[in-house]
Amino acid sequence: NLKNTMLRSVLSYLQLSRNWMLHNESTQLVNDDHPRRPILFFLLCIVSSCVYVVALQYQWLLSGAMYAEMGTNYFPKANDPSLYENLFATDAGYIPLPPRMIALLGSLLNLPASIIPYFYSGSAIVLAAVMVSTFCLRPFRILIQNDALRFLTAITIAMVADFETRTFINFSYFSAFFIATITALAFVEKNREVPWWSWFIPLLILSKPAILATLPAMVITAMVSNRRFRNITIVSTVLGCLQIIQLFISQSNQSTIFPASDNTLLLKVTATIEYFLGFIGKIGLGPFFHKLPVSTSIYIGLVLFSLMILLILWRRKAPGILALIGLTLIFFQSMINVFAMNVSWNQDLFHLQH
């Protein structure tokens, strides 16, 4: 059968590619000293992240106010008699399952309305911290052996995000980091399964449309990974397809944040590549050079992208896989934005100017 032969050839090529990419890791044993230290870093990262957010935005968090759609969408839907509405009601055209589940829990606990804002915001802050802090745990030593370096990476991710990203309606953006690190772990780890709590990934896929950008890397990794991650990827892909279908339905009903556009496919592909390189350039330059021309950011992004690929191919170590997955997230996120919201994400590159 030609299809089976082609599939076996692709899988064989991917296995060979993985072995080649991790050639310099094959003779190195993962440090398994101090088994309790990753748990201490994990807890410290959660506590530090939560304290930081409360200290930074205590006036808002302690005011008891509902933020944006917390009061106009999530709270009313959580008290709807229909379980389908409780869990799968859309917000701006997509299904945000994780915050729906939290809101439903608040309703099932019969929490007073005055407590709901604190419950929503507190849950979002803690869950965002937990998703990022898992990188401190012991399984990820195979990616970065130094526990302190993983802690610094996690705490930096947790602290650089703005306050709006940590809110109840947006905290699931942090799941991109959670999914990316587990995907890298699944790619590198040949002997052991990914942790059981990786099964939270399918729930997180059915959240912000941006999280769909993690699926391509997951699918490729699943072809060479152990069984648990393959099963997780199958379920995640099904739920991701349901989200995409829902977005198309919402777009046809004009109940989505993604308006239609008549730009050609070539223009969209070009804009995707320019945004991809531009974002790499802006990330590499940091906030101090944000007023540089867009073309400069793109050229710098091209140089940084080329250097990263050369370094990854030269070093051939596990951290390079994490970097590659990070690059795929930037690319596919740019693609989602350009193809779904091409009215504003187009060849004028407006979002690279701010």
- The percent of residues in the chain predicted with pLDDT above 70, rounded, is 94
**CA distances (Å), origin 150, targets 26, 60, 315:** 21, 31, 19
Among 246, 164, 176, residue whose Cα is nearest residue 205: 176
pLDDT mean across residues, the chain: 89
Reduced to 3 states, what is the DSSP secondary structure of residue 290? coil
The token pair at 345 is: 């994400």
179 neighbors 211 (Cβ within 8 angstroms):
yes
Mean pLDDT of 62-69: 82
Residue 2 has pLDDT above 80, yes or no: no
Residue 322 has pLDDT above 70, yes or no: yes
DSSP codes of every residue in 162-182 = -HHHHSTTTGGGGHHHHHHHH
Residue 65 has pLDDT above 90, yes or no: no
Q: How far apart are CA 49 and CA 37, in angstroms?
A: 18
HSE-CB of 284 using CA atoms within 13 angstroms: 22
- Each residue's pLDDT tens digit, 175-211: 999 999 999 999 999 889 999 999 999 999 999 999 9
Note the pLDDT of residue 281. 92
67 neighbors 121 (Cβ within 8 angstroms):
yes
pLDDT band at 260 (very low <50, low <70, confident <90, very high): low
Reduced to 3 states, what is the DSSP secondary structure of residue 344? coil
The token pair at 134 is: 């898992």
Residue 305 has pLDDT above 90, yes or no: yes
The letter for the amino acid at 1 is N
Q: What is the pTM of this model?
A: 0.91
Note the pLDDT of residue 261. 61
134 neighbors 181 (Cβ within 8 angstroms):
yes
Note the pLDDT of residue 27. 46
112: buried, middle or exposed (CB in 10 Å: 19+, 13-18, 0-12)? Answer: exposed
Among 350, 50, 309, residue whose Cα is nearest residue 174: 50
- Each residue's pLDDT tens digit, 129-144: 999 999 999 999 999 9
Q: How far apart are CA 175 and CA 203, in angstroms?
A: 10
Mean pLDDT of 94-107: 94
- Torsional sign, CA 53, 58, 60, 64: positive
- Greater model confidence, 2 or 109: 109
Secondary-structure breakdown of the chain: helix, strand, coil percentages, each rounded to the nearest 5: 75, 0, 25
Residue 165 has pLDDT above 60, yes or no: yes
| Residue with token string 């992004």 | 301
Q: Of 74-78, 188-192, 250-254, where does mean pLDDT reach its minimum? A: 250-254
Q: Of 73-82, 154-163, 256-265, 331-340, where does mean pLDDT reach its minimum? A: 256-265
Residue 262 has pLDDT above 80, yes or no: no
Note the pLDDT of residue 291. 76
**CA distances (Å), origin 193, targets 18, 98, 186, 229:** 17, 25, 7, 7
Q: How far apart are CA 339 and CA 314, in angstroms?
A: 34
Residue 241 has pLDDT above 50, yes or no: yes
Note the pLDDT of residue 255. 56
Residue 169 has pLDDT above 70, yes or no: yes
Q: Of 162-166, 174-178, 197-201, 239-243, where does mean pLDDT reach its minimum? A: 162-166
The token pair at 349 is: 């590159």
pLDDT band at 29 (very low <50, low <70, confident <90, very high): low
